[in-house]
């Protein structure tokens, strides 16, 4: 396993639409293992393959709390089959938009279908944080960032904040 670099806004790769995975094989599982290690190191609770520069419809996630056993989940070619009208506001952040958080409203429950780590077809309902996280990560697969759900002003502010932090980090590294 290896930790990969996470792409940061405004990297244009993040706006690409990811392609479906044609076959779940050892190469797919190795990518998911790398993604999970990368997500844990960041640290985060979800990561889409496009965030590490791979435009495939793959997501990894672990919603276990700090004092709980890790509970990694893998989603290949996920799709939302159904959602509910009731919206849930949730403060979201993103590894590709570091240190920026804003409330986004999303459906409280979604019915999803995906292939798991071994290529088995799974259909289930996701609720609350699970629903928010899977929708957030699935947005990545379609070239959408959580800041795209915000006003233009807030989106521009988020990008400027990230760019400023990246410049400061580069200056600190140069010294």
Contact 107, 88 (CB under 8 A): yes
Token pair 């629903």 is at which residue?
Answer: 131
First to last CA, the chain: 32
Contact 117, 61 (CB under 8 A): no
| Catalytic residue annotation | 137
Contact 49, 17 (CB under 8 A): no
CA dihedral 132, 138, 143, 148 (to 10 degrees): -10
Token pair 């609770």 is at which residue?
Answer: 45
φ, ψ at 40 (rounded to 5°): -60, -40
CA-based nearest residue to 28, from 50, 8, 49, 52? 49
């Amino acid at each position: 396993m290896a930790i990969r670099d996470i792409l940061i806004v405004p990297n244009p790769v993040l706006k690409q639409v990811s392609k479906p995975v044609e076959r779940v094989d050892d190469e797919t599982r190795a990518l998911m293992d790398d993604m999970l290690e990368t997500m844990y190191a960041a640290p985060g609770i979800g990561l889409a393959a496009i965030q590490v520069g791979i435009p495939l419809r793959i997501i990894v996630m672990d919603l276990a709390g700090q004092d709980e056993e890790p509970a990694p989940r893998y989603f290949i070619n996920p799709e939302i089959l159904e959602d509910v009208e009731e919206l849930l506001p949730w403060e979201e952040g993103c590894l590709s938009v570091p240190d920026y958080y804003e409330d986004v409203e999303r459906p409280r429950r979604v019915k999803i279908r995906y292939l798991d780590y071994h290529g088995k077809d799974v259909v289930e309902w996701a609720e609350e944080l699970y629903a928010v996280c899977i929708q957030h990560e699935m947005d990545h697969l379609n070239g959408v960032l959580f800041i795209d759900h915000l006003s233009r002003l807030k989106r521009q502010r988020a990008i400027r904040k990230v760019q400023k932090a990246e410049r400061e980090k580069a200056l600190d590294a140069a010294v």
